Amino acid sequence: MHAQDPVHWQDWSGKVLQLAQRHQKPILISSGYFACHWCHVMQHENYQDSEAARLMNRLFINVKLDRELHPDLDDYLIDFSRDVSGKAGWPQHVLLTPQGYPFAAFGYLENQTYKQRLRQIGQLWSDRKQTLQKLAKTESVNTRVRSQSDVSQSEMQTRLKQQLAGVMDDFSGGLKGTLKFPMAPLLLSLLQNERLSENQQAWLQLTLDQMQSQHLIDHVHGGFYRYTVDPEWQVPHFEKMAYDNALLAQIYFLAAERWQNPLYLETAITTLDYLHHQLWEPKIGLFKSSQSALDLQGREGGAYLFTRSQLKQRLSKAAYAQVEQEWKLKQTPPYALGWHPRPTQNLWPEIQSALRTPKKDIPSDHKYILSWNALILSAYVTTYEQASNTKYLQMAESLGARLQTLLSQTPPPRALDQNGQSIGQATLEDYAYTLQALKALQKVAPNGQRQAAIKQLNQLALDTFYNANGWRTNVHSLLPGLSRKPALADTAIPSATAIMSCLNPALLNEQNRFFADSLRQDPIRFASYLSALECKDAAPTGFLGKSQN
């Protein structure tokens, strides 16, 4: 997407640090992703602006990073930005010294402000280079502090309940705040826990009800958007991510079983159908990563919003009369492009069919990420467990075999491109999610060859990413700040170290005191460890065996 920008972009590699050190220039990393609306705006306003590009090329070594291919580096940059500025988001810009220590960060900026910021940072580097390098290196030192005691599953449960009580939105569901995200790892961890209080269960059901009935979900095409920009779930950001929909499909299936709610079951099935109809690519044997917030004309939400004239043109007279009444078409539309559909009391199947945008008219990212496909595999296995429909098992078997084959390659890819060619190298996340999904598949459909592959892949993951000093997330961690960590927090997707610890419970005995304080202080961010600690209690000797590394 950025190949024609006048910026001298570099791919992320060791060459970047070499160039920066040779020319004694700071490194500017711009991290984003295809489906991100503001990433497209940033490109159009700034990266394609000749004056801004000249400044970037003169002052910095510039790196364009796909956060989906380098999730560990992006998490590191996002954490740094949040620490120094109190906020973070894409497009994310972080400035690093030539040695790789971050010292400044910012997100989207309009053109004049962006150029002013570049000049300020360039001048600061020119005037105070030595001071900046010393301060950045000092701040990046990562010391591991050992807690006085392990954290238990019951203590984690208590502390999570206490923290949730202060941040739950009891009126609209979700967590309190201006934006509303699905928080899938938190919801999944709570659903898999048998000891929820009545208040937690009520809040969890309220959250699920709101997400499936308001505008976080696309009622026409199916699938959930990434988040809403308001606290009432009314105004979505229109990108759709494979990982959100995989996790939410699994969550709604589990919720349907827990509370015997047919509406949850319907949402789960339509979400899985969305993934198959919109993102599945049979030629590759995997699912695409996302659909863009922008339509083919570059308009945010253009594939999902309808003006009065478009509605009148597409709908029958009876159907138009129905939406005119229920959607209040005589009032000012909520969006510049019109109305975002939601189900009507009558004629909804007819209306839904008439308003569907063809798949080819919704831009998709033709990048096939292994870990996100593994999340979809887990959703298929859960679906088969709940619905006992062999078509879901067949899809799971096919997808599981594909992922197993790809991770057995040397080197295993992080993703495939639209031609089926390898991109990058598999991360800890790819192994963790795939192993979790294959283990679940093995439980419902035992297979000796698969069981052997699971053990082999697990040992390979341990040998590659783990030793007594903790986990590394990538084979090539080029920055000094990307050191081994005892535990990773959840993001929009579950913690890979929590999943690996659940697969290898003995590791929790080895690492527990190094991350116990983090779990105690902010259990919501580490909610996936609620399940990991339960795995430890259930199988203290480990499920798959422990690396001797």
Mean pLDDT score of the chain: 92
* pLDDT given for residue 144 in this prediction: 60
538 has pLDDT over 80: no
544 has pLDDT over 70: no
480 has pLDDT over 90: no
Q: What is the amino acid identity at position 281?
A: E
User: Other CB atoms closer than 10 Å to residue 524's CB: what's the count?
Assistant: 17
pLDDT in tens, 222-261: 999 999 999 999 999 999 999 999 999 999 999 999 999 9
344 has pLDDT over 90: yes
Determine the average pLDDT of the residues in 542-548.
Answer: 41
Torsion angle of C-alpha atoms 503, 410, 287, 246, degrees rounded to 10? 10
pLDDT in tens, 125-134: 999 999 999 9
pLDDT in tens, 496-529: 999 999 999 988 888 888 899 999 999 999 999 9
* pLDDT given for residue 105 in this prediction: 93
Whose structure tokens read 């700071």?
Answer: 26
Q: Please indicate whether residue 539 or residue 385 has the higher confidence score (pLDDT).
A: 385
Terminal alpha carbon distance of the chain = 41
542 has pLDDT over 50: no
| Weakest-pLDDT range from 46-55, 478-487, 496-505 | 478-487
* pLDDT given for residue 541 in this prediction: 45
* pLDDT given for residue 206 in this prediction: 98
Q: How confident is the model at residue 367 (pLDDT cuts 50, 70, 90)?
A: very high
Determine the average pLDDT of the residues in 80-104.
Answer: 91
Angle at CA 500, nearest 5°, toward 374 and 282? 10
* pLDDT given for residue 161 in this prediction: 92
| Weakest-pLDDT range from 34-38, 256-260, 325-329 | 34-38
333 has pLDDT over 90: yes
Q: How confident is the model at residue 545 (pLDDT cuts 50, 70, 90)?
A: very low
Determine the average pLDDT of the residues in 136-162.
Answer: 82
Identify the CATH class of 9-139: alpha beta
Q: How confident is the model at residue 143 (pLDDT cuts 50, 70, 90)?
A: low
In the sheet that 61-66 helps form, which strands lie side by side, from edge to edge? 9-10, 61-66, 27-32, 92-96, 102-106
Distance CA 484, CA 445 (A): 35
Q: How confident is the model at residue 540 (pLDDT cuts 50, 70, 90)?
A: very low
Reading the block at residue 153, the tokens are: 């599953």
**Percent with pLDDT over 90 in the chain:** 81
Distance CA 234, CA 213 (A): 10
549 has pLDDT over 60: no
Determine the average pLDDT of the residues in 416-426.
Answer: 95
* pLDDT given for residue 148 in this prediction: 79
Reading the block at residue 33, the tokens are: 């992703």
Angle at CA 137, nearest 5°, toward 135 and 140? 110
Helices (H) and strands (E) in the chain, counts: 20, 17
pLDDT in tens, 382-398: 999 988 889 999 999 99
**Percent with pLDDT over 70 in the chain:** 97
25 has pLDDT over 70: yes
Each residue of 184-193: b (16+ CB within 10 Å) or e?
Answer: bbbbbbbbeb
- Give, in order, the Cα–Cα distances in Å from 295 to each of 45, 223, 238, 304, 358: 18, 16, 10, 9, 11
* pLDDT given for residue 36 in this prediction: 87
CB-CB contact of 420 with 284 (8 Å): yes
| Residue boundaries of the structural domains of the chain | 9-139, 308-356
Distance CA 279, CA 109 (A): 32
* pLDDT given for residue 141 in this prediction: 61
77 has pLDDT over 60: yes
